[in-house]
Amino acid sequence: MTWFTHEDDTITRATIEELVRRTLAESKERLGITAYGRVLLLPPDITRAHAGVGWITEYFYNLLTEEGAEVHVIPTLGQHVPHTPEDNTWMFGSIPEERIHKHDWKDGVTNVGTVPAEVVREYTGGAVDWEMPIDLNTMTVTQEWDLIINIGHVVPHEVLGFANHNKNYFIGLGGKRLLGSSHMASAVYGIENNLGNLLTPVRRCFNYAEERFLSELKDIYFQVVMDYDDDGALVHTGVYVGDDLDTYLDAARASRAQNITVFDEPVDKIVAVMQADEFRATWVANKAVYRTRMAIADGGELLVIAPGVTRFGEQPEVDDLIRKYGYLSQAEVLELYATQEDMQDIPHGTAHLVHGSSEGRFTITYAPGGLTREEIEGVGYAYMDVEEAQRRYDPAVMQDGWNTMPDGERVFYISTPSAGLWATREKLGGREDATD
């Protein structure tokens, strides 16, 4: 059940710190913990830093160490590039580097079970029929922990409907087989069938796995929801704490109400900015594509201004895959996937080729800081010089929402695409509350 929630137009840092203290107090009472011996904190990686999850993790760490606990931190980065010590200091402040561990998605996982193929088939409506091996971070599942605290930002997500909750385990701490089978299942099912749904097929598979394979863990979820205030600043509006699916559903419903912008008509041009200190590859910067694709008109354009992007994939083999094939339609990828061994070897990378494609409906233009015109056009995107893009669509001048440029061009501007979902009323369809 959800232990408690706190919702307001703006929740201050002081209030969130008070809720962290309450979480630790209730954990002892509800989970029968007499004293904190060893505690594991599982925050998101640097791509969620804007949600304040770094300082929230640091505050948990400091309170627990003051009580004498031995506290460890694993950023749930999946196959993203591990943080540097400088990244960790920037995000987690005073937490010692030796207490922050890198997840190894290839060689640092242990199998705890498998979601059978027939279950995956049922949840995907017959779209796929392969099993999902649940390979998870070895340190998490083989060591003894008095408490595991999952910390994160609930926001619309292209694979799971909404991010966080047990995504921290199954994506953030997952192994190659799990990442591949889950991402490819989501791509086959269809990204636009996932976005904005409370329980997608892959989320259902993860819930199945959590109930059967992780039920012995003493773990809780500390989740935040954010929205824009009247001044256009991104602020915390909800905190949701508990130890089961209801905690996720409560937060996801709040995110659905606050973080989805609905248009009556499709938008001809969207300009989205991906912050340089968080987004360094199209793998993560393509959140701009995922979150806006349901709003863009046929024949329209998405311009992604990404001054920090210097590569395509987070890992070399994924980068090579994107460069080789480019971003392709679902039908093209599935046809190639049947015969190409390199696609079959890293299916999570193959799924990304689908997720990052416009399916030929609209143009995706990239203005990256560290990729050339030839590289960008080589994967099927249009190119714009990043300095030219920043001059024309100056983040210091542009306002979130509709902007009319001096020459009369009308664009919809999004300063933080990773914080929401933009879609037409028609595309959103009937995804109201499917939680059974």
Q: In what helix (H) or strand (E) does residue 1 lie, and over which residues does it extend? A: none
Which amino acid is present at 158?
E
Per-domain residue ranges of the chain = 4-259, 264-428
Q: Considering the entire predicted model, what is its pTM?
A: 0.92
What is the C-alpha to C-alpha distance for residues 202 and 8, in angstroms, rounded to an integer? 31
Q: What architecture (CATH level 2) is domain 264-428?
A: Alpha-Beta Complex (3.90)
- Residue 314 phi/psi, 5-degree rounding, is -75, -30
Q: What is the dihedral of CA 173, 178, 182, 185, to 10 degrees?
A: 170
Per-residue pLDDT of the chain (436 residues; tens, 9 = 90+): 899 999 999 999 999 999 999 999 999 999 999 999 999 999 999 888 889 999 999 999 999 999 999 999 999 999 888 999 999 999 999 999 999 999 999 999 999 999 999 999 999 999 999 999 999 999 999 999 999 999 999 999 989 999 999 999 999 999 999 999 999 999 999 999 999 999 999 999 999 999 999 999 999 999 999 999 998 899 999 999 999 999 999 999 999 999 999 999 999 999 999 999 889 999 999 999 999 999 999 999 999 999 999 999 988 999 999 999 999 999 999 999 999 999 999 999 999 999 999 999 999 999 999 999 999 999 999 999 999 999 999 999 999 999 999 999 999 999 999 899 999 999 988 665 544 4
What is the C-alpha to C-alpha distance for residues 362 and 357, in angstroms, rounded to an integer? 9
Tokens of 102: 């890198």
What is the C-alpha to C-alpha distance for residues 89 and 203, in angstroms, rounded to an integer? 32
DSSP-derived secondary structure for 114-130? EE-HHHHHHHTTTS---
For 436, counting Cβ atoms within 10 Å of its Cβ (0-12 exposed, 13-18 middle, 19+ buried), the class is exposed
Q: Are 80 and 41 in contact (CB under 8 A)?
A: no
The whole-number pLDDT of residue 430 equals: 66
Q: Are 140 and 74 in contact (CB under 8 A)?
A: yes
CATH code for the part of the protein at 4-259: 3.40.50.11440
β-sheet bridge partners, residue 2: 242
User: What is the number of alpha carbons within 13 Å of residue 94 lying toward its C-beta?
Assistant: 7
The whole-number pLDDT of residue 433 equals: 55
What is the C-alpha to C-alpha distance for residues 39 and 31, in angstroms, rounded to an integer? 13
Equal CATH topology for 4-259 and 264-428 = no
What is the C-alpha to C-alpha distance for residues 74 and 45, in angstroms, rounded to an integer? 9
Q: Helix, strand or coil for residue 372?
A: coil
Outline where DSSP puts E strands in 29-188. 38-42, 70-73, 109-115, 132-137, 147-153, 156-157, 161-162
Using left for φ > 0, alpha for ψ between -120 and 50, and beta otherwise, residue 165 falls in left
Q: Are 362 and 381 in contact (CB under 8 A)?
A: no
Nearest to 375 by CA among 333, 326, 336: 326
